[in-house]
Structure 1
């Protein structure tokens, strides 16, 4: 037990030092802090230059709340709990394997170092996105998970920063379900992961932006603003119970598994969920909401 406590404590100091390093070191391209800022500013400029909803303010409803969520969830949440929890769980998983005489390398299907870099990154990206697509479906289908996911669906006006408005429990669920599939393939370094992260952040920002794009024929591969807005629609189609368009980066899974739904131009549809009129409007109460609310079915 002492070992896990030490890992938990060390994770805080290590991540704090890493975060300070990110803030002052501008000499490496895979700087997540400034990478997020640059991507956000670029997508915001696109929103301003090519607005889909012309009457939506540049500083839309909850713009500053979502901006706070963006930095809190992408950086401070790691410092508060995620990195420590992840490192401790990783060590626990390794210890469980050792009990049965195995190590992480014994269960790996292959090592991406044995593959061309582009192929290794593609495999990592496809596995990650597919697992996250399924996890997203669970957030809509399981009532207690839906209670957490309501924070993201409380967005009433879409904009790039809405991408990272989510309850702190969501990444715990995503990372937990993603850990073992990714552990089965090894050999990734930090720069490999950065390439995928920057790409997925950019697509996620664009999906939530005030842009009327669908990327033409590429809409069947990549999620896009015209598709994702239907995921946030307050009124669901009658033939669908739990939602539509679950794709994070790729729309491919929705088309393959028949959960795609883009019936017409959704520019002016109402966003949210049934009963969102009484949903908390500030950060602290939104974070506390799942603990003090009654569990509700995802959709009626």
Structure 2
């Protein structure tokens, strides 16, 4: 137990120092703080230049709530929960394997660090996106998890910052399910992770943005605003009641597994979910909502 408490303590200390260094610009390419700000401002500018819903304000409904969510989930949530949880869970997993004389290295399939940079990046990106796609389907399929995911689907007007409106439990689920496959192909550098992370954040912002784009032929590979808006549709056919268009960065999984759905232009469709008129409107209330559910 003492070992795990030390891991948690060191995790908080290290991440707090990282966060300070980010804000005071003492980092270079791995500065997620200003990276997020730059990406957000660029995509927000694109919303102003290429609006899909021209009558939607740049300061749309819940703009400031989503902006708060964006910074809370991207930075403070890591400080409060995820870094310590990930590090201690990783150590616990290795300790359990150690009981039977194994370590995570026994399961590693590739010496990934010996591969060329873009090969490593491609493998990391594909594995992460595929696991996240299945996890996303799980969030819609399991009622307990859906109650947490409702926070994200409570968005009533799409804009870039809606990308990071989600309950703190979601990254716990995503990270837990990503850990084992990534550990098996481990050896990625911080630069590898940052490269993929910034790319995914950019595509995720664009998916939720009020932009009149579908990327042409690339729409069958990359998720896009005209596809993702149907994922947020309040009404779907009964045979699609568990959702559609689950792609995070890539849309190709939806086309492969037949969960794609774009019946017509979704520019003016109503967003949300059944019963969302009774869903809490404030940050604290939304965070507490799933914890008070009886069903």
Into which bin does the TM-score normalised by the smaller protein fall?
over 0.9
Counterparts of residues 140-289 of structure 1 (less than 5 Å): 140-289=140-289
Q: How far, CA to CA, are the matches of 2:242 and 2:184 in structure 1?
A: 31
1:14 is aligned to 2:34? no
User: Which residue number corresponds to residue 46 of structure 2?
Assistant: 46
Q: How far apart are residue 26 of structure 1 and its match?
A: 5.0
Q: Deviations over 1:150-183 (max 9, x none)?
A: 0000000000000000000000000000000000
Counterparts of residues 32-111 of structure 1 (less than 5 Å): 32-111=32-111
Q: How far, CA to CA, are the matches of 1:255 and 1:207 in structure 2?
A: 17
C-alpha contact 2:21 2:27 (8 A) present in aligned 1: no
Relative to structure 1, the CA distance from residue 26 to residue 48 in structure 2 (aligned partners, 3 Å threshold; closer, same or farther) is farther
TM superposition outliers: structure 1 runs of 4+ over 4 Å: none
Q: How far, CA to CA, are the matches of 1:27 and 1:152 in structure 2?
A: 31
- TM-score scaled by length of structure 2: 0.98
- TM-score scaled by length of structure 1: 0.97
Relative to structure 1, the CA distance from residue 26 to residue 42 in structure 2 (aligned partners, 3 Å threshold; closer, same or farther) is farther
Gaps of 5+ in 2: none
Gaps of 5+ in 1: 296-300
Q: How far, CA to CA, are the matches of 1:48 and 1:225 in structure 2?
A: 15
Q: How far, CA to CA, are the matches of 2:294 and 2:96 in structure 1?
A: 36
Q: How far, CA to CA, are the matches of 1:134 and 1:67 in structure 2?
A: 27
Q: How far apart are residue 96 of structure 1 and its match?
A: 1.1
User: Which residue number corresponds to residue 298 of structure 1?
Assistant: none
Q: How far, CA to CA, are the matches of 1:75 and 1:111 in structure 2?
A: 31
Of 106-115 and 271-280, deviating more is: 106-115
C-alpha contact 2:73 2:164 (8 A) present in aligned 1: yes
Of 162-171 and 3-12, deviating more is: 3-12
Q: How far apart are residue 30 of structure 1 and its match?
A: 2.2
Q: How far, CA to CA, are the matches of 2:277 and 2:293 in structure 1?
A: 14
Q: For the aligned residues, what is the CA RMSD?
A: 0.9
Counterparts of residues 280-299 of structure 1 (less than 5 Å): 280-295=280-295
Paired residues, what number?
295
Q: How far, CA to CA, are the matches of 2:16 and 2:115 in structure 1?
A: 34
